[in-house]
Structure 1
Amino acid sequence: MTAHLPDNIIIEAKLERFNPGGSVKDRPALKMIRDGIASGELAPGKTILDSTSGNTGIALAMIGSALGYPVRLVMPGNVSDERKRICRAFGADLIFSDPLEGSDGSILKCRDIYELDKEYYFKPDQYNNPANPLAHEETTGPEIWRDTDGKITHFIASMGTSGTLVGTGRFLKRTNPDVQIVAAEPDSPFHGIEGLKHIESSIVPGVYDASVHDEKIGISTEDAYDFTQRLAREEGILSGLSCGCALAAALKLAERLAAAGKPGYIVAIFPDGGEKYLSTPVFSGETMHYADGI
């Protein structure tokens, strides 16, 4: 897919599927839980409660089971069956919000549940907890800087909570202000890219910091699907839809640099693997369904 690019433009992907829970969300989930235990907010007998599109829920369920905490998750009813089954396999209790309301619906439903019994729950609140981006500032950013020998010129991350983009971007900007931080997002409020938000039309996460990124690149659902499929069939990388979105943005950026005669060392985050999407239209061949920030 990059054969048409000049030799002085490199695209590399950081594959987060190899984390224990299978996604980039293991990082903030672990930090939020550790911080909750350290502060006393997460005490024995409490239940972990949060809204999720799937990956954070899987991470919370995995870590909660290992530490002996019950986990209750609120997610849109149309997330992939694989995500639901994995969460349940870890023992999590699932509550479903209206699929047409996307991730915003699960955020609001989770908020209502928490308000009814605050003493019973520990709510990591991934959309607003500073520990989310800080996890990436402390780990993801330094790993990328180390693994590229400081040669990275552009960093790309797709946005759900925006924690990966914001935290990694802060570290890279602090280390080298010339590194360009690029946000990849759906190009429309109504889209079919699971886990991602069209920020302008959604409940804006409290951790989102628009000053961190230098630009945003909008990606259509069709392009995200196409590049996710091509990653599997041409590169041997079975990935999730947000990976296809990030790759589409990376290629747009690379082609723009090539047209301007500029070099680039682009690193894109691939948040998860494709195993959780095998029943979805991206791999099943069924018709795509759109919602706001699924």
Structure 2
Amino acid sequence: MIYPIITENIGKTPLVRLVRLLDESIRERNNVILGKLEGNNPAGSVKDRAALSMITGAERRGQICRGDVLIEATSGNTGIALAMTAACRGYRMMLVMPEDVSLERRQSMRAYGAELILTPVQGGMEFARDAAKQMAREGRGVVLDQFSNPDNPLAHYQTTGPEIWNGTTGAVTHFVSAMGTTGTIMGVSRYLKERNADVQIVGVQPEDGARIPGIRKWPEQYLPAFFEAHRIDRTECVSQTDAEVTARQLAAVEGVFCGISAGGACAVALRIAHEVENSTIAFIVCDRGDRYLSTGAFPA
């Protein structure tokens, strides 16, 4: 018998249909809403895919080898995924992040053996990204850089996109995803559009003032290097309240306990379902809700 190692269980996550959250209007329009449960990945999020792709890609190119120090700026899920992958492949992981990252996320990263460097919350992810690059210039390690590394969207072109296409037998009409590094939406868009150019790709950004983990609206100079605006047909903004309320509803009504960015993506999927007919709308459930218990998003 040949048994898989932990990273060989990344991907092939469930695609589940929402039932009770759909109102009569959506049902009358004959629309289906599907959530891709990325919290079922070994380290608990969609970022497992990109983490494995970036590390194995760097290994193939000879940029890193076992025992090296890896550095990454992250708001949480990528850090957890990289820490897991680094642990099982023999790397030391240093993660740079704003100091307001949830306690559960920090504890998860440390559990995998990562070293954490916290940056001022006022500087946001932009400051953390600059700090990580400065550490690399000082020779303290290799930055994988999820914001410019083409292996990030490649992971979703090779795995997430095909899984959604095959899971719907090609019936998907809309794909909705929160936009952080934009790796997920770039890779999935490329794959789905190659199969059917009419599939609508919808990006989700936060409304001004909202701080939703995993969803960002980047200043021009910090836009991810692989971001291509033409791959997105429509961009929708979501409020902090709508994202959190929808996340709570997904847990209490559908039994899908997910994070806040997934709540935002679902809110937009529901918005679209009130406009279209005979459509199959898939959205990314980025991670699990237990990562956010200390934030107050799920009151006791």
Of the structure 1 ranges 201-210 and 213-222, higher mean CA displacement relative to structure 2 is found in 201-210
The Cα RMSD (Å) is 1.3
Unaligned runs of 5+ in 2: 1-20
The answer on whether the counterparts of 1:127 and 1:205 sit within 8 Å (CA) in structure 2 is yes
Q: 2:70 aligns with which of 22, 25, 48?
A: 48
2:127 aligned with 1:105: yes
Q: 2:218 aligns with which of 195, 199, 206?
A: 199
CA deviation string 1:44-87 (max 9, x = no partner): 33101100011110011001111111000001100100000000
Distance 1:30 1:43 in 2: 14
Q: 1:276 aligns with which of 284, 288, 291?
A: 291
Distance 2:284 2:221 in 1: 22
Mapping 1:24-173, distance limit 5 Å:
24-117=46-139, 120-173=140-193
The answer on whether the counterparts of 1:52 and 1:103 sit within 8 Å (CA) in structure 2 is yes
Distance 1:22 1:239 in 2: 10
TM-score, normalization by structure 1 = 0.92
CA drift at 1:284 = 3.6
Distance 1:201 1:234 in 2: 39
Query: Which residue is 2:230 aligned to?
Result: 211
Query: Which residue is 1:288 aligned to?
Result: none
Aligned length: 278
Distance 1:51 1:81 in 2: 17
2:244 aligned with 1:225: yes
CA drift at 1:263 = 2.2
The answer on whether the counterparts of 1:161 and 1:207 sit within 8 Å (CA) in structure 2 is no
CA drift at 1:200 = 5.0
Unaligned runs of 5+ in 1: 286-294
Paired amino acid for 1:106: A
Distance 2:195 2:68 in 1: 39
Which stretches of structure 1, 4 residues or longer, exceed 2 Å deviation after superposition? 199-202
Query: Which residue is 2:280 aligned to?
Result: 265
- SS in structure 2 at match of 1:173: helix
TM-score, normalization by structure 2 = 0.90
Change in 2 beyond 3 A, CA 1:264/1:194: same
The answer on whether the counterparts of 1:104 and 1:202 sit within 8 Å (CA) in structure 2 is no
- SS in structure 2 at match of 1:256: coil
